[in-house]
Chains A and B, each alone.
Chain A
């Protein structure tokens, strides 16, 4: 139901009025299994956000095909953007409730808010919260819809290390409770190893796949820094091509 099949021949940006052209993606193909957690890694500006926007249906100006699930039904998408993108004029809880087409499930939202330690501020306006809290609200919003596909674009960037670790742990716990297919964009190799089933390394534009690596650390060993560090060393020694990317 929630597999993704991506096959893009070409994605080119045109600057203004017939000016310079900027080829972002050239011949990119990969499949994501249902409930797989895939991390996309690459240098900044390589087109990762563009790719997520295309999967989310925000950008349809490209040649190729992105299929989600294979059914005709429109896939439900949860998208955690690089900035939280909360509506500043609605409270935390209203922001979450708004993404439901029907009546919002109060019990689910309560549980998610409690899990992220946000129940005390649920009636505050987002601009009164810290950035870390806003990011957690954005993550809850994406999880709450119980999406077929969850897209995350560096959700921990610009957080200090302890809050990033905390939110990452909470995110991971959430995903294990209610698994779904995840496309996660990151700069941070350790973070990617700790979270993902599979790492896809991308080149600078025009973007192609440099390597596609399965992370074989068992799920219960992901909190062990030593195992993650060992896997990282192994990666960098076995795949020298990715060294220059990050």
Chain B
């Protein structure tokens, strides 16, 4: 009962705060009365037309495709390398310097270099995103691997667990919170970089479109595309990440 009530209340709070934001926007737009800040209704109309024409779904899909591919590659590679560095001190000492360097290269530099070295194509775009994201994943997972419970690893060793069993039942559950952290910060980081990559060297995707709208000073389209994107990212959080969190933490007291 109490739980249902709290949930209902938090739903009301969310609705109210969103309505207030919308109200402020409406009031500001009416007061300003300038094309640089269109009314919410106009943005909704643009959103609807862009969706119906298939233009927005097409660009959104290309961006999400790049996001999915580069995210998967960065996470897989990052987990493997992070685990290796976390468990092997001498490798870690050797490659730590590389990590610091890669962590500090600006995203723009990697993107430009990738395009110059590998040409203005899809794989160069994806590579640029991966190179930007990979060091973050490695550092997070390395932290997790360093914190692995030695007692449980010894238990697994004395009962002669296979490598696969140890990874699946002993190591993975301990890394899970770190992987989730890397996933969340990763999504937030990657989609910003993907837009930049598209802006600089692709002829479709959200970044390309936003660039176009900037040149045309089309603020209504710009906002419509932004909301579509924010909605998708929120949907990923609520439909994929939260349920994953809950499933993995059932055992906690």
Residues of A within 8 A of B (CB): 53, 56-58, 74, 76-79, 81, 83, 85, 87-90, 98-99, 101, 125, 127-128, 141, 145, 151
Bound Cα distance A98, B160 (Å): 10
- B158–A56 touching, CB < 8 Å: yes
Bound Cα distance A57, B173 (Å): 25
- B158–A77 touching, CB < 8 Å: yes
Q: Find chain A residues with CB under 8 A from B250 CB.
A: 125
Identify the stretch in B70-78, B95-103, B149-157, B203-211 within 8 Å (CB) of chain A at 4 or more residues. Answer: B149-157
Q: Find chain B residues with CB under 8 A from A77 CB.
A: 158-160
Contact with A along B148-185 (1 / 0, CB 8 A): 00011011011111100100011001000000000000
Q: Find chain B residues with CB under 8 A from A141 CB.
A: 159
- A85–B155 touching, CB < 8 Å: yes
**Minimum C-beta distance from B216 to chain A (A):** 53
- A85–B157 touching, CB < 8 Å: no
Q: Find chain B residues with CB under 8 A from A56 CB.
A: 158
Residues of B within 8 A of A (CB): 151-152, 154-155, 157-162, 165, 169-170, 173, 248, 250-253
Bound Cα distance A28, B248 (Å): 47
Q: Find chain B residues with CB under 8 A from A101 CB.
A: 160, 162
- A127–B157 touching, CB < 8 Å: no
Q: Find chain A residues with CB under 8 A from B161 CB.
A: 98-99
- A90–B151 touching, CB < 8 Å: no
Closest to A82 in B: B151
- A125–B251 touching, CB < 8 Å: yes
- A74–B151 touching, CB < 8 Å: no
Bound Cα distance A85, B253 (Å): 17
Closest to A95 in B: B169
10 residue pairs of the A-B complex, CB under 8 angstroms, read A56-B158, A57-B157, A58-B154, A74-B160, A77-B160, A83-B151, A87-B169, A89-B248, A99-B159, A101-B160
**Minimum C-beta distance from B92 to chain A (A):** 16
Bound Cα distance A77, B160 (Å): 9
